[in-house]
Structure 1
Amino acid sequence: MIPLLALAAVQAAAPAAAPDYRQESAWLCLPGRADVCSTPLATTALNPNGYGSNGRSTVAANPRLDCFYVYPTVSRDRGLNSDLAVSEEQGVAEVQFARFASVCRTFAPVYRQMTLGAVAASAAGADIRAAGALAYGDVLAAWRNYLATRNNGRPFVLIGHSQGSLMLQQLIAREIEGKPVARQMRLAIIPGFNLLVPQGRLTGGTFKTTPLCSRPGETGCVVSYVSFRTRNPPPAGALFGNASAPGMTVGCVNPAAVGSRDWRSLDSYWYARSAQPVPGGPIQWSTEGAPPTPFLRTEGLVSARCVNDGPRGYLEVRVNSDPTDKRTDRIGGEVGLGGFFLPGWGMHLNDLPQAQGDLIRLVETVSR
């Protein structure tokens, strides 16, 4: 529980004025301009025999669809809602979203998200519903501006994580499903927040008619999951991975093989210069030394499968370690706080990076 004085300070800061999404400055990413999503990312392949080829991510010249991204909780601003001065937001967009520019036009609004302080305040018992409504109001305004002035009838994919996925869940339920615009939605990729479905079903719960994706190439559906390390499933009372509503479970779609319940290898892109704490200490990515580029790509280092057991649902993640090869046998993803890792959050920080190559291919597939 956070101290009462700190809680009072969080609650005291007044929210910033609403962003004007007619202005380019209210967007992290827009097509056709120089920003974090149009900057190629230097990347090195990390194979069992060590570092391999170097390259840079690409930006498609004329992609067939749009991607609309809402970033996760990253703001350290004072108050329950962020002040709209971009800092941490740019870094997370680079790690999670910029690489999708190879397959779609990129749109990412800046919004008055609930801050990390708001998350702590909620854990201390504070009511943050007004802060959540303010954040969603911004996302809604950005969405309506995008549809009215920037979309021009093009197909789109929604992409989010954590708080961003919560915002997009609300957007789909209130603004998309059951409306004509639903025909334009090729896919929603919204991991990192519980999406509820009745046990044994693909539809119902969080959404009335929008299903979990269940087969390769399916459109108009949702890819959702929350990640937990193998042999470390969501504990009782976990924030993620447990459905509290009777008869419900947490939906899981394997990003590497839609509809599969088996173990599948993941195509991963890691930010090798992350300062996030990792169980067991900092990662030595290769016995050959420090990574030559900020991003590393691994294929088959990590595998995952979907697990649903009553109310519990999650993506079980394992590392395919080999102590005889040159690449790491460890990855991170857990959320650290005060020297401890939060068991109810699982491998939350790696929900997108661990399967980013697979997710990009999903978007590419539905653009054809």
Structure 2
Amino acid sequence: MVLTFISLICLALGPEKDACGQSVITVPYAKPIPNPLPDYALTSTWAALPEVADAADRVPLRSDFEDQQASARADVFFIYPTTYVQSPDGRFPWNASLADSALNLATDESTILNQASVFNGSCRVYAPRYRQAHFYAFLTPNNDDKVQALNFAYADVRTAFEYYLQHYNQGRPIVIAAHSQGTLHAVRLMKEFFDNKPLGDQLVVAYLIGMPVQPDEFRTIPPGGAPGQTRCFVSWRTFAKNYYPDWYQKEVNTAVCTNPLSWKTDDAYVSQKENLGGVGLKYTYYPQLADAQCHEGLLWISKPYIKGRAFISNKNWHNADINLFWANVRQNVQTRIDAFISKEKQ
């Protein structure tokens, strides 16, 4: 079990040659050619769709959760994090190809299974495949390379969302959910489609996880400070208690930290007894997995409460941001949807 949780961190490390086998990109940014535009009319360009059997339909082992998409009253548009850390041909283009079947499988068996599935209890799950930026985009000293790679990726997310609105949504309440690179794209999407826009009336909540989001990021969408608040956003980044990552700077410690055990933004400690359960890499359910406390823009946890926890030395729990609090997130989605629909009926 210790190794299971340690392995969650591997994809969160940088793509230099390391224990995770990731790689540096040594050439300047260039648009991937050939790399055909995604056609979102094809089910193959979606990692998750309600009417297609996929990893987002599953529920954890050793749990009594059920996939409720058939009766769900809301949709979630989920933007997955970076899974592109290598290249099948060794040349490491800046953006992934949707024809990379190995990458698609890795995405499905990691983030779609462990993260997107949290929403299947109360939402129809939509998760587009997109030509994500390579992880090195977050490490390169050349900001132009980073911007171009992320812009290229966001264009796909935007196109997929427009297709979703035109062909799938039909006026239903919308949850936006994302992690890491996905959160960068989700913030842009929120500003373009929801913030001070008519579509904002359909927004239940946005889960913007794994990247710093400032309290004033949006003009009309505030941070959420209560479990049943709607038309708001929540955000957190998980690290070991008393740990500050190397990049941490005091001038950006104003980032929103939502405690996923209380759904408040204060610095109150919440014990693992309030944790309804999380999931390990093998998608096994573990109750009371972690405690949580917000501290200067970071979410701090003690070592997960599992057998052998004394041997855990991880400091960065980025890749387990959702895993550690899986059942609490699942419950909160339902709570906010219920509150949203109740207000709509008034």
Give the TM-score normalised by the residue count of structure 2: 0.80
Match of 2:299 among 305, 315, 320: 315
* Matched ranges for 1:250-265 at <5 A: 250-259=255-264, 260-264=266-270, 265=272
Name 1:306's counterpart in structure 2.
294
State the alpha-carbon separation in 2 of the partners of residues 333 and 145 from structure 1.
44
1:56-93 alpha-carbon deviations (Å, 9 max, x no partner): 64343311100110000111332110101323221221
Which structure carries more strand by proportion?
A: 1
Structure 1 equivalent of residue 200 of structure 2: 182
Where does residue 114 of structure 1 map in the other structure? 133
Identify the residue that residue 29 of structure 1 maps to in structure 2. 48
Give 1:329's aligned amino acid: R
User: Which residue identity is paired with 1:160?
Assistant: A
Q: 1:72 pairs with 65, 74, 81, which one?
A: 81
1:285 equivalent in structure 2: none
Query: Take 1:360 and 1:176, find their aligned partners in 2: how far apart are those partners?
Result: 23
Give deviations 1:323-357, integer Å, cap 9, x for gaps: xxx834269795xxxxxxxx7xx321111111111
C-alpha offsets along residues 229-267 of structure 1, whole Å, 9 cap, x if unaligned?
1021344x33xxx4646xx71111111112253122333
Count of residues paired in the alignment: 304
Shift in Å, 1:8: 3.1
Deviation at 1:7, TM superposition (A): 3.0
Cα distance in 2 between the residues matched to 1:253 and 1:172: 18
1:356 — aligned with what? Answer: 326
Q: Quickly say closer, same or farther: Cα 1:6–1:320, change in 2 above 3 A.
A: closer
Deviation at 1:228, TM superposition (A): 1.4
Decide whether the 8 Å contact of 2:46 with 2:129 is kept in 1: yes
Query: In the TM superposition, what whole-angstrom CA distance separates every residue of 1:278-329 from its partner, at most 9, and x where no partner exists?
Result: xxxxxxxxxxxxxxxx323233231001122xxxx111111365xxxx8342
CA contact (8 A) 2:29 2:145 kept: no
Q: Distance in 1 between matches of 2:336 and 2:243?
A: 34
Counterpart for residue 48 of structure 1: none
- Greater helix content: 2
SS of 1:190's equivalent in the other structure is: strand
The answer to whether the Cα contact below 8 Å between 2:205 and 2:233 also exists between their aligned partners in 1 is yes
The structure number with the bigger radius of gyration is: 1
Q: Is the 8 A contact 2:227 2:336 kept in 1?
A: no
Q: Residue 150 in 1 paired to residue 149 in 2?
A: no
- The percentage of aligned residue pairs carrying the same residue is 26
Contact 1:82–1:114 (CA<8 Å) still a contact in 2? yes
Q: Determine helix, strand or coil for the equivalent of 1:167.
A: helix
Q: Which residue of 1 aligns with 2:9?
A: none
Task: Report the Cα distance in structure 1 between the residues aligned to 2:312 and 2:222, rounded to whole angstroms.
Answer: 30
Where 2:285 maps in the other structure, the secondary structure is: strand
Corresponding residue number in structure 2 for 1:291: none
Does the CA contact (< 8 Å) of 1:227 and 1:314 recur in 2?
yes
Q: Secondary structure at the match of 1:301?
A: coil
Q: Match of 1:175, as an amino acid? A: F
- Answer yes or no: is 1:81 the counterpart of 2:95: yes
Q: Which amino acid aligns with 1:7?
A: I
Q: Residue 94 of structure 1 aligns with which residue? A: 113
Paired residue for 1:212? Answer: 223
Q: Is the 8 A contact 1:319 1:331 kept in 2?
A: no
The 3 A distance-change label for structure 1 pair 214 and 296 is same
In structure 2, how many angstroms separate the alpha carbons of the residues matched to 1:113 and 1:171? 15
Q: Does 1:194 align with 2:212?
A: yes
What are structure 2's unaligned runs of at least 5 residues? 1-14, 18-22, 339-346
Where does the alignment leave 5 or more consecutive residues of structure 1 unmatched?
45-53, 198-203, 273-293, 335-342
